[in-house]
Structure 1
Amino acid sequence: MNLSSADTAPNLAPVITIDGPTASGKGTIAQRVADHLGWHALDSGALYRLTALAVQRSGANLDDESQAAALARQLDVRFESGAVLFQAEDVTHAIRQESIGNLASQVAAWPTVRAALLARQRDFRLAPGLVADGRDMGTVVFPDAPLKIFLDAAVDVRAQRRYKQLNDKGISANLDDLLSDLRDRDARDRGRVHAPLVAAHDAVTIDSSHLGVDQVVQQVLALWSARGPA
């Protein structure tokens, strides 16, 4: 899907938001729920990771907020068949590197970057519906979403999951370093002034520490089904 597309009026498409900290599994859950419902999916974190990648590749000062915002506004990106294309290059795996994730957490704290990406995220709200995951989907981007999920898990569980995920991809990782990085990211995400990571007042919190992916997906689908006809 091209980010600039807006074929359907936003108020015609329902949205399920899934927010939560890094490595809580929200991306996997969002995609599974979207596939089940036949809806679109938005991995908002990918947009911040792409901005971080653009900053890194541009050679810009990593502390230059205005430059990062300018790059965010000009992102040449497409999502196609599960792949993330940046300037026609498949960067699906490149944006998942830990260095990019850490830089993305930094640039995501800047209000001008968040403002630059806000409209682009809302462009994904197309019929028949959207499942959007991130950190402020239910609080800032889609505050009128009829179902909001806050997906959490203990930080040590999240570190173990990320460690296994990286190892499965053949990427070397140190569990202690991952745990430290996650704690640092949590602190940045929860403590930032603009759009901090927090559950929306009307969100349903699901702790996935001891739940499998299928169990969480079924909980989300059951919550949606319980709403009845829109």
Structure 2
Amino acid sequence: MIIAIDGPAGAGKSTIAKKVADSLGYIYIDTGAMYRAFTYELLTSSISLSDIEEITKVLEKTDIEFKNNEIFLNNLNVTNEIRSKNVTANVSVVSAIPQVREKLVYLQRKIASESNSILDGRDIGTVVFPDAELKIFLTASVKIRALRRYNELIAKDKNIDINEIEIEIEKRDKLDSSRETSPLIKATDAIEIDTSNLSIDEVVNTILKLAEEICENESL
């Protein structure tokens, strides 16, 4: 089974997807981390994000994989590095590049084809796996998402400003929803869950129940 979880930044996709994957024994594929990893590669290589020809060359030599829920870029563990403010500020631009999406979608499908998988991102249910057996669209208010991101980052950086985070999230939402290639939209057959006033466990249990119902129907 393929479970697709889409939604905007800070809706809780990664945290929830990991817990669902653990409960079901599925492979978890953090597609957002893949785009972050490639963004990190471009930034550390000082490649202009407008130089499509050079970006395409780098893509051809790029390998991204997951090992024990950590992400590796060309055999280098970059799990922590991809969460930097610089990567966060530029990942939407990189994600909108058609050549980048084509390569990473190929890798996502390749990884997911090996086992039951759960993927989270912004176009999983619409582009990557439009035939996924279960599609979830997670959302939450901008203020709630900003607070979550703030709590996540404050331990690493005491100078984090929650107002700046809120502005960044609004900007990210606009970029993700308006980009020409694979914009953030809810699949017509996706089940929407507003996580604003729900605990992580409540959302996880809701998805597990939906997955269980699908498995029961398929076995009939």
TM-score range, shorter-chain basis?
Answer: over 0.9
C-alpha distance 127-110 of structure 1, shift in aligned 2 (>3 A)? closer
Aligned to 1:35: 22
- Give 3-state SS (helix, strand or coil) of 2:144's partner: helix
Q: How many residues in Structure 1 have an aligned counterpart in Structure 2?
A: 217
Q: Superposition RMSD on alpha carbons, in Å?
A: 1.5
Most deviating of 95-104 and 203-212: 95-104
Q: Indicate the percent of aligned positions where both proteins have the same amino acid.
A: 38
> Residue 89 in 1 paired to residue 81 in 2?
no
* 1:117–1:66 CA distance, 2 compared to 1 (3 A): farther
- The answer to whether the Cα contact below 8 Å between 1:72 and 1:117 also exists between their aligned partners in 2 is no
Secondary structure at the counterpart of residue 149 of structure 1: strand
Which residue of structure 1 aligns with residue 8 of structure 2?
21
TM normalised by structure 1 equals: 0.89
Alpha-carbon distance between aligned partners in 2 of 1:156 and 1:58, rounded to the nearest angstrom? 34
Q: Secondary structure at the match of 2:126?
A: helix
1:127 is displaced (CA, Å) by: 5.0
CA distance in 1, matches of 2:118, 2:64: 19
SS at match of 1:168: coil
Q: Does 1:45 align with 2:32?
A: yes
Structure 1 counterpart of 2:179 = 192
In the alignment, structure 1 residue 158 sits paired with structure 2 residue 145: yes
Residue ranges of structure 1 left out of the alignment (5+ in a row): 1-13
Q: Residues of 2 paired with 1:70 and 1:138: CA distance? A: 29
Q: CA deviation at 1:69?
A: 3.4
Distance 1:128 1:76 in 2: 20
Q: Is the 8 A contact 2:49 2:93 kept in 1?
A: no
Match of 1:145 among 103, 127, 132: 132
Tell me the distance in 2 between the aligned counterparts of 1:112 and 1:126: 21
Distance 1:30 1:192 in 2: 25
Q: Corresponding residue for 2:188?
A: 201
In structure 1, what is the Cα distance between the partners aligned to 2:33 and 2:88?
9
Distance 2:38 2:198 in 1: 32
CA contact (8 A) 2:30 2:119 kept: yes
Q: 1:83, CA displacement in angstroms? A: 2.1
1:210 partner amino acid: N
SS at match of 2:207: helix
Unmatched tracts of structure 2, length 5 or more: none
Structure 2 CA distance for aligned equivalents of residues 106 and 144 of structure 1: 27
Q: Report the counterpart of residue 3 of structure 1 in structure 2.
A: none
Residue identity matched to 1:172: N
Contact 1:26 1:133 in 2 (8 A): yes
TM-score of the superposed pair, with normalisation by structure 2:
0.93
